[in-house]
Amino acid sequence: MSEVLFIESHKIGPECKTFIIGEIAQAHDGSLGTAHAYIDAIADAGADAVKFQTHFAGEESTIDEPFRVRFSRQDSSRYDYWKRMEFSEEQWVGLANHAKERGILFLSSAFSIKAIELLRKIGVPAWKVASGEIGSHTLLREMAKSGSPILLSTGMSDFNEIDNAVSRIKAMGLPFAIFQCTSKYPTRFEEVGLNIIDELRDRYCCPVGLSDHTGSIFPGLAAMARNVDLLEIHVTFDKRLFGPDIKASVTIDELRTLVEASEAFHKMFANPVDKNAMSAKLTDTKAIFSKSIAPLRHLKKGTILESDMLSMKKPGTGIPPNKIETIIGRRLARDVDPDRLLAWEDIV
C-alpha cells in the first residue's frame, strides 16, 4: 500500500494539494447539452476532475426498484428515470473528449459490466466505485483489467466490509484511495464523520478523501484543514433546479471557493513557519505597532517622574514599556511634552 496515488499526471497524497472532483451525477437530468455545460462550468471553477455516473437501466435495475426520493413527475418508476439518464457510447465519448479539451480529468462511476466496458473503451484514468457497489466483486474484477486506480466510496459500509474490499483491491495489485462518505442526501453536519478520515488513513495507509453530500462548503473546508487528499462534491447550477441530489449539491460558485481554499490550504501546509525567524523579519513592523513610554502632560525640567505622569504610546522606537520601573523616581533633564515619546536623553 502507498500513501501516494497517481491519476495520470496528478499526484495525490501527503504534501499535495487536495484533489477536487466536481460530481455531476444526474444533475444534467438526461440533457446532453446540460452535461456539456457542467463540464465547462466545473473546468472554469478550477476543479481537477469532473465525474458522472454511467447508468444503463436494463443492466442494473428493474421496475421493482423504489425511488430513493420521490422527486419526479415525469418518471413513473426509478427504472424509467435511469433509462432517461442514459447516453449513447458516442455521447459519452464526446463528454470525455470535452473534459480533456478543458484540461480536467473525466471520471464516471460504473454500475454495470456494460458501463465498465464502455468507460474502459473511452479510457477513464481511474475507477470510482460508488458506495452501493463496494461489495460488487464482479465489477471490481472487471475494473481491474485496466490496471487503473480505484477510488472507493464507503458511504454505507462498516470497517469489516471496507477491509474485505481493500483486501480484494490489494490482491489485484491496484493502487487505491478511500473516501469517507455518508449516503444521505443531504447529509447532516453531525453525520459527516470527519474523524473517520484519520481512521481510514491510519488503517489502510492510502490517500483518503471525503465524498460530501451536505450541500454546504463547510465540510469540505474542514476536511482540507485536516489535510484530506481528495474531495468529491456534488454540484448544481442552481439549488432551485429539479433532481434527487440538488439538496446535496453546492453551486458552481461554491465549488470555485473550495478550489481557491485548496490552493490556500496547500500553501499554508507546505510552508511551515519558524516563529523566531518570522519575528526577526518583522522588526520594523513591530516598531510601528508596539508602544513606548511617553509623558501624559507637559512636564518641566527637574520634575521627578511618577507613574501617574506616564503612559504608553506608539511607536515602539523609544523607551520600552518594561523599563518603566527603572525611570520612576528619576529627574527630567529638560522639558517634555505629551506629543513626543520620552527619550533616555530626557532623564538624568
Q: Are residues 198 and 281 in the same domain?
A: no
Helices 218-225 and 252-270: angle between axes, nearest 10 degrees: 10
pTM of the predicted structure, to 2 decimals: 0.89
Residue where a domain stops, chosen among 231, 248, 270:
270
Consecutive sets of 10 residues in the chain, 348 residues long: mean pLDDT of each?
89 96 95 98 98 93 77 78 93 98 98 97 97 94 96 97 97 97 96 97 97 98 97 97 91 98 96 96 95 98 97 97 96 97 97
Residue 180: phi, psi to the nearest 5?
Answer: -70, 135
Cα–Cα distances in angstroms (integers) from residue 133 to residues 22, 129, 138, 169, 209, in the given order: 20, 6, 10, 13, 17
Residue where a domain stops, chosen among 214, 245, 270:
270
Domain presence at residue 160: yes
Q: Are residues 166 and 49 in the same domain?
A: yes
The pLDDT assigned to 1 comes to 55
The pLDDT assigned to 209 comes to 98
Q: Are residues 186 and 229 in the same domain?
A: yes
Question: What is d(CA 219, CA 186) in angstroms, rounded to the nearest whole number?
Answer: 12
Residue 274: phi, psi to the nearest 5?
Answer: -85, 115
Strands 292-295 and 310-313: antiparallel
Domain presence at residue 323: yes
Q: Are residues 149 and 284 in the same domain?
A: no
Question: What is d(CA 242, CA 293) in angstroms, rounded to the nearest whole number?
Answer: 67
Q: Are residues 193 and 81 in the same domain?
A: yes
Q: How many domains does the chain have?
A: 2
Q: Are residues 90 and 222 in the same domain?
A: yes
Domain presence at residue 5: no
**Containing structural domain, residue 298:** 277-346
The pLDDT assigned to 343 comes to 97
> Which three three-digit cell numbers place residue 72?
419526479
DSSP structural state of residue 228? -
Q: Are residues 80 and 210 in the same domain?
A: yes
Q: Are residues 157 and 299 in the same domain?
A: no
Question: What is d(CA 240, CA 215) in angstroms, rounded to the nearest whole number?
Answer: 13
**Which residue bears the cell 475494473?**
143
Q: How far is CA 204 from the centre of its chain?
A: 21
CATH number at residue 287: 3.90.1210.10
Residue where a domain stops, chosen among 235, 270, 305:
270
Domain presence at residue 4: no
Q: Are residues 259 and 303 in the same domain?
A: no
**Over the Cα atoms of the chain, what is R_g?**
30
